[in-house]
Amino acid sequence: MKKSKGRIFFEIYNYSILVSMAALCLFPMIHVLAVSFSSGSAAAAGWVSLWPVDFTLSSYTFVLEKADFISSLMVSFQRLFWGLIASLTITIITAYPLSKGKRDLRIRGIYIWVFIFTMLFNGGLIPTYMIIKETGLLDSIGALVIPCAVNVYFIILLMNFFKNIPKSLEEAAFIDGAGHWTTLFKIYLPLSLPALATITLFISVFHWNSWFDGLIYMNRPENYPLSSFLQTVVIQRDLTFITDTREIEMLSKVDGKTVKSAQIFLGALPILAVYPFLQRYFVKGITLGSVKG
Amino acid sequence: MNLNLKLRREIPLHIMILPALVLIIIFNYGPMVGIIIAFEKYIPTKGFFGSKWVGLDNFRYILSMPDIQQILKNTIVIAMTKIVVGLFIPVIVALSLNELGSDRTKRAIQTSIYLPHFLSWVILGGILVDILSPSSGFVNKILGSLGVEPIFFLGDNDWFQFTVIITNTWKEFGYATIIYLAAITSVDPNLYEAAIVDGANRWRQTWHITLPGMKTIIILMTVLSLGAVLNAGFDQLFNLYNPIVYETGDIIDTFVYRLGLIDAQFGPATAVGLFKSLVSLVFISVSYFLADKLAGYSIF
């Protein structure tokens, strides 16, 4: 079919708009990368756009030798590790019983409401802080992992996936004498790998990106996970983080801007690394969660 | 099956739920009990139940604060604008993407536009503070070469809310676009063929087939976004604002944070938080109810 003149005009227009939008979403990240590899003076003068000026690795060598950066990176890895274990376990063992019908779990309705209500109403910042203080979790990795281990969205997501697993499989297992635990681990989990991969990614991104809880539940900066640490150095520009004069000298050489950019980029790097997988799964995740239960 | 055996079969299911139940009772229902702080002159060492009861004093104190009206106004204006913009742009982008002939281009564009969604506001805030800086920022360099005076996007009350809306749209539009695109791909292709036979052009196909096909999901997204009327976006504001723009950028959540955790005025801060939670409860409930009635969507 021959395209009309109007159609061709529209397609060119449409194409240009969409491509510029895509560029607009990528440029800031590329700019940061370019600044991080540039010399301090070029960056400070604003000469860097999308390509490094006076290419240098000095801001990266500086950042990777900074004790506070490295220690917060370690806290982040710890958080990721424990967070994944806690959240995945809780999500799996909670989604399974809730995916059962009323016939198998008679008070399912009550349980569901207890969980759903937390999505409708919350105690707010101050009472939550006080509870976490009372439980003695302040300044421990537990404060960043335990209170958020129950995520009702993830539970619903997996619950809906479990619901679509054919009942006949479970009945056959029961006849063979399997209990609920065996059924969950031997039948449900192997069949749910795509859903579990999606949830694993979501949980990882959540933990990597979370910064506010670290900021308020950790009193000592050396306990900050990376995102909280970045919040304080990149956004708050708190000078108390610079501990000795040697560091100040070094900082004036590499210039704050390139060091900042290097830290921002390193902070975003894990997300960029898992991004190809993220985007494959997250459309699936969205549709998964919206299946009517 | 007799009742006894049935009950015994249920036991493992209850055991599985138990850990999550204990956790949300402590960390979600515990704070709800803690809301009584709002009616107390709360002293942490005396606990929730040992502090002095002051009735509605904290609420009176809050209402007497000069900034409270402005904060409420900022919250609603920012949140509502975000909701409205966040509904229109993704629909338009999804429709435009659907018009692209090449699948490869389509996928490349999609991949780019939802990248910012996965980066935190700390990362994006750091980037924005840098590129929006009036002296050395990239954006102002470009504006400067066009002869525009430098604009202090994050430090000027005339520009701050605008900047917040634009940057939020930038972060989130790609994500919402995907949801609409999924709806478009699920439209029955036979309908288009029938329309072409009837002589409908692309505009008419979009208007009469694609948009009606997206109707349910559009209604759903609109209705669900209602729950966010008081969510102006703490993560974003906290990472972008500064004392110069409190006038236009201070929202309920940032105010609660400063009042409660910085100034240690626990009672009044909890009172403000309670107000927000209660209003949100109403809106979220209504939005779930409407989602069920209008779009046949139930969350559980």
Residue A286: the pLDDT is 58
Point out the residue among A122, A261, A278 whose CB comes nearest to the CB of B118. A278
At A231-264, the pLDDT tens digits run: 988 876 544 444 444 554 455 545 588 888 999 9
Higher pLDDT, B24 or A220: B24
Residue A240: the pLDDT is 42
Averaged pLDDT for residues B59-80: 94
Beta-carbon separation of A130 and B31 below 8 A: yes
Beta-carbon separation of B13 and A230 below 8 A: no
Q: Does B194 touch chain A (CB under 8 A)?
A: no
Residue type at position B37: I
Beta-carbon separation of B26 and A93 below 8 A: no
How many secondary structure helices (H) and strands (E) does chain B include? Answer: 17, 2
Give the lowest-confidence range in A82-86, A95-99, A280-284, B90-94. A280-284
> Does residue A88 fall inside a structural domain?
yes
At B190-220, the pLDDT tens digits run: 888 888 888 888 888 888 889 988 888 888 8
Which are the contacts of A162, defined by CB distance < 8 A and separation ≥ 6?
A95, A96, A99, A188, A192
Residue B206: the pLDDT is 87
- Structural domain harbouring A212: 63-290
> Does residue A197 fall inside a structural domain?
yes
> Does residue A52 fall inside a structural domain?
no
> Does residue A217 fall inside a structural domain?
yes
For tokens 């500064």, the residue is B242
> Does residue A55 fall inside a structural domain?
no
Higher pLDDT, B169 or B179: B169
Query: B40: which strand partners?
Result: B53
Point out the residue among B28, B116, B299 whose CB comes nearest to the CB of A25. B116
Which are the contacts of B204, defined by CB distance < 8 A and separation ≥ 6?
B195
At A173-216, the pLDDT tens digits run: 888 888 999 999 999 999 998 889 889 988 999 999 999 999 99
CATH of the domain at A280: 1.10.3720.10
CB proximity under 8 Å: A 63-102 to B: 89-90, 93-94, 96-98, 100
Beta-carbon separation of B111 and A279 below 8 A: yes
Confidence of residue A138 (pLDDT cuts 50, 70, 90): very high
> Does residue A44 fall inside a structural domain?
no
Averaged pLDDT for residues A20-39: 90
Express as a percent the part of chain A with pLDDT over 70: 88
Retrieve residue B190's tokens: 């036979």
Phi, psi of B52 (to 5 degrees): -75, 130
Give the lowest-confidence range in B54-68, B116-130, B194-208. B194-208
> Does residue A8 fall inside a structural domain?
no
Beta-carbon separation of B273 and A124 below 8 A: yes
pLDDT at A93 over 80: yes
Averaged pLDDT for residues B265-286: 94
Report the mean per-residue pLDDT for chain B. 90
Q: How many other CB atoms sit within 10 Å of the CB of residue B283? A: 18
> Does residue A229 fall inside a structural domain?
yes
Domain count, chain A: 1
Residue A270: the pLDDT is 92
Averaged pLDDT for residues B104-115: 88
- Among B70, B97, B41, B96, CA closest to B160: B70
